[in-house]
Amino acid sequence: MRKRRVFLALLAVLPLAGACARGAEARPQRVLRVCADPNNLPFTNRRLQGFENELAALVARDMVATVRYTWWAERRGFIRNTLNAGLCDVVMGVPSSFDLARVTRPYYRSTYVFLSRKDRRLGVRTFDDPVLRHLKIGVQIIGDDYANSPPAHAFTKRGIVGNLIGYTVYGDYREDSPPARIVRAVAAGDVDLAVVWGPLAGYFAPRQRVPLQMVPVSPQIDLPFLPFVYDISMAVRRSDAALQQELDGILEKRRPEIDAILGRFGVPRVGRGSLARRGG
């Protein structure tokens, strides 16, 4: 009799278990939709080789989600055409002062660097070094106007213009990682020195055939207010406070893993380095 009662109980439970299993299968897996550049190492690329690709995967694991990318070249209008158009929910690697979206707490702080060949022994550490007036200098530019780049603006303020050579951050997409051209120019001797965003220099400088030297730009803020050090965050839509708060928690929780990823990619960090308390 007892065995018969157990058997009947199992018969009653099995349909419920089957229904639960079908319900679990029917639930869609959570997706972290990320918009990113398909050809922009060391940050992101379509082969998922960038440090921002690794950070997106790290965050997604904590969310029990999979990452789904929308690939879009990071040019003017990128946020408008991707995040704010609803093509994704997160954009990696924006300045923490970014005003076109809601930003997370910073997860690293980096700096522009003076980049030169070690065998040149230039020793440049500041924009006020008089030797800069006699060097061929590479600067990153965003458009046709040199003044839209902080380094170019600093040189222009000092009357150092004729010896500048601009390297667009967009570049020729038929090449791999086109922004790296400025680093290759230093190694090849096409320019004597360049002022480069730290993560780009830190990744590509060790990959050149000749040793290169990186020196953080000084001062960190060129008066009256031209910063060369930036906190970096993730961006979500302004209306998505819940996702921003969830990401903040993950960034704090995974700080050691994030710092390890940044270290492997050679990202130079200044100040506290990462995960400073988010302001405003």
**Span 23-39, average pLDDT:** 81
Angle among Cα 265, 255, 73 to the nearest 5 degrees reads: 50
Q: Any residues with CB less than 8 A from the CB of 260 and at least 6 apart, and which?
A: none
pLDDT digits 0-9 by tens, 152-194: 889 999 999 999 999 988 777 788 888 999 999 999 999 999 9
Among the listed residues 189, 188, 154, 203, the one whose alpha carbon sits nearest the alpha carbon of residue 41: 203
Query: What is the three-class DSSP state of 32?
Result: strand
* DSSP element (H, E) containing 20: helix 2-26
* Mean pLDDT rounded to a whole number for the chain: 87
As a dihedral over the C-alpha atoms of residue 112, residue 219, residue 272, residue 277, rounded to 10 degrees, the angle is: -90
Radius of gyration of the chain (CA): 24
Nearest Cα neighbor of 226 from 136, 156, 142, 164 is: 156
Asked if residue 216 lies in contact with residue 268, where contact means CB atoms within 8 angstroms, the answer is yes
For the domain 110-227, what is the CATH superfamily, name and number? Periplasmic binding protein-like II (3.40.190.10)
Class of domain 30-108+231-264: alpha beta
Q: What pLDDT shows up at residue 75?
A: 84
171: left (phi over 0), alpha (psi -120 to 50) or beta: left
Domain ranges in the chain with CATH number 3.40.190.10: 30-108+231-264, 110-227
Terminal alpha carbon distance of the chain: 70
Amino acid at 211: P
Adjacent-strand bridge partners of 39: 45
pLDDT digits (tens, 9 = 90+) for 188-236: 999 999 999 999 999 999 999 999 999 999 989 998 889 999 999 999 9
